[in-house]
Every structure is written in structure tokens, then in C-alpha cells.
Amino acid sequence: MGSLGPLGRSAALAVLAASGVVAAFATIAPSPDAEILLSRTSSVEALPIPAQALLPSPASYIREERFQRGDTLAALLSRLGITDEQIPKLTQLRALQLLRPGYYVAADVSSEGKLYLLSFLTGRDTLVQIGPAGDRFLASEERAALYTQIAMKSSVIQSSLFAATDAAGIPDSVAMQLADIFGGDVDFHRDLRKGDQFTVLYELHHLAGRPVRAGKVLAAEFVSRGKAYRAVHYGNGYYAPDGSNLRKAFLRSPLEFSRVSSGFGLRMHPIAKAWRAHQGIDYAAPTGTRVRSVGDAVVDYAGPRGGYGNVVILRHHGQYTTVYAHLSRIAVRRGARIGQNDTIGFVGQTGWATGPHLHYEFRIAGQARNPFSVAMPAALPIAAQELAAFRAHAAPLVARLELLANSNLALLE
Ligand SMILES: [Zn+2]
């Protein structure tokens, strides 16, 4: 089966789906074909498979319930309509310990409450199935035959990135990836303005006709204050369509972007004004928000120092140093080597601070500078000998980005 091309794979899948072998859970991995199917999950192309309805056994019905935070197994099994006699046997199964809050559990149950088949998808993309065997229950865990489609979404910022992604039905994991991908060019705590817009193509993994999980962002465009940044995933990183690397030697923001911290950015004063006031930038953020190193560094100082309160000073390559003050807690020791995006501490209000915030300074040769006026050096671009392959990969993705961005603009006009 290893020599099957994409068409052969689709055909094999269609046969599987039509044969009835996999009636109730059409995408269970029942054979060596499973490996082939699974190998498609990171593919760019979608596997064309019709949505599979769950087909109940005669005189039975299928229920689906979400395992809630604070839920018990017994309560969940009861909600699924399983009879009280069977529940104690089931709760002893080790396979059910894999359940986590948020998982959906499906059960095929007779009208008397007898369990025929219980199944759920785990966070590591395996399908756990539990069914009766004599007077016991047996569990199996197999790789789930997920298939992938590309989701294309576009949205305009009104108040925050998360509000915009929520409005467009974009999962949080994709919002976080956007903040990471463009984190060398855009400070998502301070740069966002109403009217900024973005378009994103990302993997959406499906099981049995239903989207179960978002995958990685394949390409994206972010328009910040009229300037468009584009990214295409290639190899292990993200590159602009011309092959330059989006990863910069320094992140724009020392604060981790999260749903909690994101709401604070738009309330800030204009950067230049705030910066002139005291040679640094203040980020209002809740106490405990993660503070990260903006670049690879050695810890030059970590401890209390006067009005700075608990402060970390990092020495980077060249003449660059960065300062992070008023921390509630410090997470690094003097002399330690750390990488970009590593945690150095947490937001607080130690020292001279009227409320919880991060005071951040960017220095070149000991002089405080406004980081937003400094051109940040980038990581290595696509190698010359790989540029043709990269362009061939990027062109259709960029074309889709443009198509979507333009059609959205047309809608707004
Ligand atoms: Zn300050």
C-alpha cells in the first residue's frame, strides 16, 4: 500500500467508509491503512471524505457528552444513559483515566442502558474504544484517522486580537500562533489599533466529519497600522514571501501574549510619549503575567534594586541589554544562559510602582533607546539554493491570502 498516490489513498478511504466495516466510527484505524491515513494529517491538501454520520446499532442510540472540569466518571457515564449496574465496572478501567476535561465522549447504548461501545478522542490523537466482552469490558486505543482541511479566516480588530478571533470563530491556539509568528514585528500589547486586520490559513483536523482540533498556521497576513506583514510556514519557521525570516533577534514585546494580558494593550498611551517620560516602556498587566526574554541572553543581574523593585537585567549579543522591573517573582539566576521567549519572571509592583505593571528598557551600549525605533536584525533567510522550492510552496498560499483579504475588503466597502 505504500506506493499509493493521493488518489489511491482517497479511494482506499472511500472503500473503507462504504464497506460498513467501520460503521459506527468510520475513521477508526482498522488496518495498516491507518498509517497511511495518519500520515495525511500534516499534509496541506484536504482529503475529500464526506461527513460520516454515526450509525447506531438497532434498538440503540448514541449520546455524546462533554467531560467537564470537576466532573466524575460515574456522573458522565450516567449522563450517557449507561445503566447503574455497569458503571462500577467501567470506572475501574484504566483507559478511562485518559479522560480530561473538555473531551467529548460518545456512547452507543441500548434502550435498557447496556453499553455497546464507548469512544473518545484523546489529546494525543488516539481513539479510545471500550466495549463489552462477556461480562467484562475491554478497551483499545488506536491512532485516530484524522484528516486535515485548510481553514481560511479573516477578521478586523475592534478591541483586541482575541475579540477578533472569537468573532471569526478562530481557535485560541491559532490566535496564539499569530502572536508568535508576528512577534518580531508587532507588539501585540501595544501596536494593535482598531481597524487592523488579519487573514489566516490554518490546518483544521477532522474526525468523523467533525472538526476536532486546529493544527498549525500555514500562512497569514497581518495588517498593523496600514503595514502588511505576511508569513508562510516552511521547514521549521515562518518566512515572508521574499524568503526573509520573520524571526528576529528580539521580540517586540517582553510580555507573553495571552487572553488575560491582551485586553490591556489598547488602553496604553502613545508609545513615544510614554517612552520619553522615563526612558522605558510600561506594560500594564495583571500580577503574575509571564515576562519573557526578548532575545538570547546571559542574566547580568537578578534581584532587588531600589525603585526598580525586583529587576532582571539581560545581556544580549553585541551591545544590547534589556531591563525588566517591578517583578513580583524572579525566575532566573545571575549568570544563567537563556533563550528568546524563556520565562525570566512575573509581573508585579515591587519598588516604585503604583500598580501592577512591567517597566521595560532596551539599551544599546548602556544608553536607553526606544526599541520601536531600532531596526531588529533577523534570523537567517531561506538559503539561495532552496529559494525556488520555497517560492513554489509559498505562491499558492499567498494567492489564497490575497483572495481572502481582497474579498473581505470588498465586503467592507
Ligand atoms: Zn516605567
Is residue 168 packed enough to be buried (19+ CB in 10 Å), middle (13-18) or exposed (0-12)? middle
Total length of the chain: 413
User: Which residues lie below 8 Å from residue 370, measured CB to CB, with a gap of 6+?
Assistant: 271, 272, 275, 362
Q: Which three cell numbers stand for residue 248?
A: 528576529
Calculate how far, in angstroms, residue 185's C-alpha sits from the geometric centre of ligand 1. Answer: 22
Calculate how far, in angstroms, residue 411's C-alpha sits from the geometric centre of ligand 1. Answer: 42
User: Which residues lie below 8 Å from residue 336, measured CB to CB, with a gap of 6+?
Assistant: 298, 299
Calculate how far, in angstroms, residue 21's C-alpha sits from the geometric centre of ligand 1. Answer: 65
Distance CA 214, CA 199 (A): 16
Name the DSSP class of 280.
S
Calculate how far, in angstroms, residue 361's C-alpha sits from the geometric centre of ligand 1. Answer: 8
Distance CA 387, CA 382 (A): 6
Residue with cell 541572553: 297
Calculate how far, in angstroms, residue 224's C-alpha sits from the geometric centre of ligand 1. Answer: 25
Please report the DSSP string for 372-387 in residue order.
GGSPPPB-----GGGH
Calculate how far, in angstroms, residue 280's C-alpha sits from the geometric centre of ligand 1. Answer: 6
Calculate how far, in angstroms, residue 267's C-alpha sits from the geometric centre of ligand 1. Answer: 16
Calculate how far, in angstroms, residue 290's C-alpha sits from the geometric centre of ligand 1. Answer: 17
Calculate how far, in angstroms, residue 195's C-alpha sits from the geometric centre of ligand 1. Answer: 28
Calculate how far, in angstroms, residue 116's C-alpha sits from the geometric centre of ligand 1. Answer: 63
Q: What is the pLDDT along the chain (413 residues), one digit of tens a residue?
A: 333 333 333 333 333 333 222 222 223 333 333 333 333 222 233 333 333 444 444 577 788 888 988 999 999 999 999 999 999 999 999 999 999 998 889 999 998 899 999 999 888 889 999 999 988 999 999 998 889 999 999 999 988 888 899 889 899 899 999 999 999 999 888 888 889 999 999 999 888 777 888 999 999 999 998 999 999 999 999 999 999 999 999 999 999 887 766 655 444 444 444 555 567 888 888 999 999 999 999 999 999 999 999 999 999 998 999 999 999 999 999 999 999 999 999 999 999 888 899 999 999 998 888 887 777 778 899 999 999 999 999 999 999 998 887 776 555 54
Which residues are found with C-beta within 5 Å of the ion, ligand 1?
Answer: 280, 282, 359
Distance CA 16, CA 10 (A): 10
Calculate how far, in angstroms, residue 102's C-alpha sits from the geometric centre of ligand 1. Answer: 40
